[in-house]
Structure 1
Amino acid sequence: MKHVYTSIIPMRWGDMDAMGHVNNTVYFRYLEQARIEWYAFIGREKNAGMETVVVNAHCSFMVALTYPGEIEVRTYAGSPGRTSFEILQEIRRTDDPDTVYARGGARVVWVDRSTGKSSPLPDTVREMITA
């Protein structure tokens, strides 16, 4: 896996649940936010009419996150297939960067928006993932 992006996201008080820690569903929002920031960073708009679609998402919770604080989401890209690639991510606190609080990610498929069908990964994306 190749490290491709790191995102810093503040935890919000509203992210907490009745148990006093960040709700499990919010972790998926953190992963999504980091993934979308990475897409903007690599210039997804250069591939007009193309999008990624999540076909599988997962998250394993290691240590409970509690407010207040900021998290760091490290995003890694896996070996690309013809139309898809794996994104793996680690969530850490910025004040405790050596501890992995959660691991997650998604398999995404490159899709042509006009047809709704999968499309080969653009060479620029393939090169960025494998470089």
Structure 2
Amino acid sequence: MTESLPAHLVGFPFIHWLEVRFRDLDVLGHVNNSVYATYLESTRIEFYHHLTGLPLEKLNIILAELTIKYKAPAFYKDTLGVGIKVASFGSKSFAMEYAIVRPADDMVVATARSVLVMYDYTLNKTVHIPDEFKRRVEEVQGPVGKH
């Protein structure tokens, strides 16, 4: 995006840009509520890759909770910026916050919060968040609180 960052995305260390596709729409012509979860998922994956450089299958993270607050509709061909940041760390889980913003009018389309759990698929159990992951997050976005 060549224009200046929309005000509502300032403070997010990572922005994923996307364009609303025709297939994202519902019968009323705006983005269907379920599609926002996919937008958030795509943003999370890109953010993880930015943080770790690891391929998706090596991330060992499971989505445990997702809450989305819908603020305004988005429409076909809208460009949306999805801001993401780690909000807090626990010992085995961490919370993330998001804002989905339409830069054309700096409208907040939705906000969201998720909780993710570190998981070892070989052992089939939750594990502690690696210090290296915490360090990298704080390197990219600054200090993160605890939950």
TM-score (norm 1): 0.89
Q: Per the alignment, in what secondary structure is the counterpart of residue 14 of structure 1?
A: helix
Percent identity of the aligned residues?
Answer: 27
Equivalent residue for 2:68? 59
Considering only aligned residues, what root-mean-square deviation do their CA atoms show, in Å?
1.8
8 Å Cα contact 1:4-1:77 kept in structure 2: no
1:1-131 to structure 2, matched below 5 A, reads 3-43=12-52, 45=54, 49-96=58-105, 98-130=106-138, 131=142
Structure 2 distance, partners of 1:129, 1:3, is: 12
Classify 1:27/1:45 alpha carbon distance in 2 versus 1 (closer, same or farther; 3 Å). Answer: same
Provide the C-alpha distance between the structure 2 equivalents of 1:121 and 1:4, rounded to a whole number of angstroms: 20
5+ residue gaps, structure 1? none
Q: TM-score, normalised by structure 2?
A: 0.80
2:53 and 2:60 map into 1 onto residues whose CA distance is: 8
The count of aligned residue pairs is: 128
Q: Where does the alignment leave 5 or more consecutive residues of structure 2 unmatched? A: 1-10, 143-147
Report SS of the residue matched to 1:27.
Answer: helix
Name the SS for the 1:86 alignment partner: strand
